[in-house]
Structure formats: C-alpha cells, structure tokens
Structure 1
Amino acid sequence: MKKTIYSTLLTITMLFSVHLTVNAASLGLTTDNPMLGSSSVTVDYLEFGSDGDLSSFGAEIDSSNGVTPVGFTGLSFGVGFPLATPTIGATGFFDIFDDNGSFLGGDLLAVGFTENVIEFQFDNIIGSAAGSFGNSVLALITFDAPLGTNPFSGFIDGNFYTASVSIYNISPVPEPSMLALLSIGLIGLFFYRRSQYTMK
C-alpha cells in the first residue's frame, strides 16, 4: 500500500513539474481589452556588472481599446534583471500619463518571453484607468530586430532597440491546479487497487 501511494504521489509530482517546464519561458497569460498600445518605442539596454536594464521614456500611446486617455499620452518603463536569470529576481515599473495626470501604472510582478517578444506582468495597478484594467496587466514588448527565441540573449550593452508595446488586461483563466492533478492520481490509484483486487 505504501509503495502504491508513493508511486501515485511521484506521478502527480512529475505531471506538475512538466506543467511548470512548459510555461517556463512564456507567462502563458490570456489577454483581453482594454488595451493601450505604442507602435514606435525606443528601448535602451544597458549592463551594470551582472545586471541588465531595459528602459524607455515618453513613448507616445497611439492606440487604445476600451479606455480613452485624454490628450497626449506617454509611456515610460524601466526593468532591471540579473543577466544570468532575467526571468527571476527582476524589478521594475511602468507609468502612463495623459493630460489629466496618472492614467495607468504598476510594479513588475513577473517576466516571460517568446521569440522577439518580452512579456512583463505588472501588479499594484494605479491611475485613473486602474479600475478598467483590474489587479494586473500584461505588457508585450515586440522588438523589430530579430533577437531570437530568447530576446535577452540578443541584447548588446549600450544599444537602442525599436519596438512596439501593447498593454492588456489579463483574463482570469485558471491554470490546472494541484487539486485537478491530485484527482488524476486518485483515479489512477482506484483503478490500480481494483485491478489488484480482481487478480486475487
């Protein structure tokens, strides 16, 4: 019996580990409106010892869906990260200001990437549009230069990169939970015990 329980728990752990590995690069978040976008952003990349820094200041927000900023609307962001592990231990912020003041802003929560795209998830959302976006937003930085499957490895210290930025509301789509994986394990245990009983 102990061997069976151990085997079941090992299977559950392996399934959960595979799930984490699949989502290791991309954050895997589902987005929805409202949305804010800037089609032309200049991103500065600098290295300071073992850390890297991406920043942009004053890029114009030139598209929106579901929210309406007033007058000129500018985007700024800054993110610092360890060069060895850019998706772990990163810190940063973003701010969007329109003619009325703070429109949207937040603190970095998580970092992911896909080919030529860096994903920044921000929480602690503030500003006049915060109620429309909710607790968390996803910023997609899509670079014009072909930086590869891991954009962080393509940066050169001191270079500027052109990109577009889209900031989305995050749809609350639940990820597979440990409860679901535990259920799979218990079903497997049931059929195993049943087959053992039938064989007697």
Structure 2
Amino acid sequence: MKTLLSALALGLFALVATDRAAAAPIDFAPANSPVIDVPFATADYLEFGGVGDLSIFFAEGVSTGTPQAGNLFLNILVDFTVTDRTDIAGTLLSSDDNGAFLDGTLVRAGFDADILQLLFGELSGSAASAFGPEALVEIVFIDPFPGNDPLSNLTDGTAYDVAATISAPVPLPAALPLLLAGLGGLVLLRRRG
C-alpha cells in the first residue's frame, strides 16, 4: 500500500511539473507539409491606449505541400493588452493570384524561447483543407532581438526583422512524459522494496 501511495504521489508531482513546464509553449510541433515559408518580413510594433499591436503586412511567402497561384502575400495582425498578454486577439490573412489562400482567427498564443507561436483556427481559403482545422505560425525575431518571451520584451515604435513559417500543427503527446514518470517511479519503488 505504501508503494502504491508513493507511486501516486510521484505521478501527481510529475503531472504538476509537466503542467508548469508546458504553460509557455504551445504543445504542437510543426508538420513537414503543408508549409508556408516567409524567409523575411518586417513586424511593426506599436502601443496605444494600453494595447500592443504587432503587425506584419504584405510579407511574401512560398507554399509547399499545397499549390499556390502566382505570388503569395501574408498579413499577420496580433493585438494584446500590454499589462495582460494573455488577453490577445489576432488574424491571419493571405492571398495568392486566385484570392484568399489561408485565413484564420487566433486561438492561442505562446512562445518557445525566442520564437513567438500563434495558433490560428476557423481556417478558410483555398489552402485551408490542406492545413486541417488549425495552422501554427512560428515567428523568429532576427533584428533587433527581443530575447525570450517576445511579447513581453517588444519596444514601442520598433520595426523588427522576422522570419516565419506556417504549418499544420501536430499535437505532442502530453500524457507520455507523465506515464513514463509514473512507470519509472514504480520501477524505482519496486527495486527499493
């Protein structure tokens, strides 16, 4: 009974630790295809009335895994309350020569070190079916570099050089680390007893 209680306690600890570690990054990995690559863009950041606005306008992208007609241009707009960066909204708009390519509404935002992660849902446009229900936008800041947690370190009135990728997100197995920690705890407790 003592072994079972110890294993449950270890499993609960692993659950809490996993929750805290995964609070900042979005628990998705980018897929290999389809992908829209934006090798260079400018992201303008302005603050007014307590609201931060990060905007990328007319960035040229290249799509792989889904056909594009002619030039592909993307607009990414993100607004958030400066004092509470969890109060966030955003829009993804893109078009090629045939019209709407991939449009969406921001569902969730996060960061993984210096990469701003934006998860868009309610997708529409000619490429929406290739991406599925959501698209993951990852923005890398090149110059000036705001450091880790990009939304917290942006400077008002600054134009940032960025690169971005847009991909179909693949969920990471969140239960796997918890299961392995619990099994490892059971093995350790069994060896002790």
TM-score (norm 1): 0.80
Inter-partner Cα distance in structure 2 for 1:59 and 1:124: 21
Inter-partner Cα distance in structure 2 for 1:162 and 1:37: 15
Name 1:58's counterpart in structure 2: 58
- Name stretches of at least 5 consecutive residues in structure 2 with no aligned partner: none
Name 2:117's counterpart in structure 1: 119
The answer (yes or no) to whether the contact 2:104–2:121 under 8 Å persists in 1 is: yes
Local SS of the residue matching 1:96: strand
Query: 2:112 matched to 1:128?
Result: no
Inter-partner Cα distance in structure 2 for 1:46 and 1:12: 45
From 97, 104, 119, the equivalent of 1:106 is 104
Local SS of the residue matching 1:67: coil
The equivalences for 1:28-177 within 5 A come to: 28-32=27-31, 33-61=33-61, 63-86=62-85, 88-145=86-143, 146-176=145-175
The sequence identity of aligned pairs, in percent, is 34
Task: Say if 1:185 and 1:116 are closer, same or farther in 2 by CA, change over 3 A.
Answer: closer
Aligned residue identity for 1:64: S
Q: CA deviation at 1:152?
A: 2.1
Inter-partner Cα distance in structure 1 for 2:171 and 2:115: 22
Local SS of the residue matching 2:90: strand
The answer (yes or no) to whether the contact 2:24–2:111 under 8 Å persists in 1 is: yes
The answer (yes or no) to whether the contact 2:81–2:88 under 8 Å persists in 1 is: yes
Local SS of the residue matching 1:74: strand
RMSD: 2.9
- Name stretches of at least 5 consecutive residues in structure 1 with no aligned partner: 193-200
Query: 2:17 matched to 1:18?
Result: yes
Task: Say if 1:182 and 1:168 are closer, same or farther in 2 by CA, change over 3 A.
Answer: closer
Task: Say if 1:64 and 1:185 are closer, same or farther in 2 by CA, change over 3 A.
Answer: closer
Aligned residue identity for 1:26: P
Inter-partner Cα distance in structure 1 for 2:175 and 2:123: 26
Inter-partner Cα distance in structure 2 for 1:164 and 1:184: 37
Task: Say if 1:47 and 1:71 are closer, same or farther in 2 by CA, change over 3 A.
Answer: same
CA deviations on 1:6-60 (whole Å, 9 max, x unpaired) are: 9877655432221111112221311111100111211110112332111111111
Q: CA deviation at 1:69?
A: 0.9
The answer (yes or no) to whether the contact 1:34–1:64 under 8 Å persists in 2 is: yes
CA deviations on 1:142-179 (whole Å, 9 max, x unpaired) are: 111221112223311111111111101112443217xx
The answer (yes or no) to whether the contact 2:114–2:147 under 8 Å persists in 1 is: yes
The answer (yes or no) to whether the contact 2:18–2:178 under 8 Å persists in 1 is: no
Structure in which a larger fraction of residues adopt strand: 2
TM-score (norm 2): 0.82
Task: Say if 1:64 and 1:183 are closer, same or farther in 2 by CA, change over 3 A.
Answer: closer
Aligned residue identity for 1:149: N
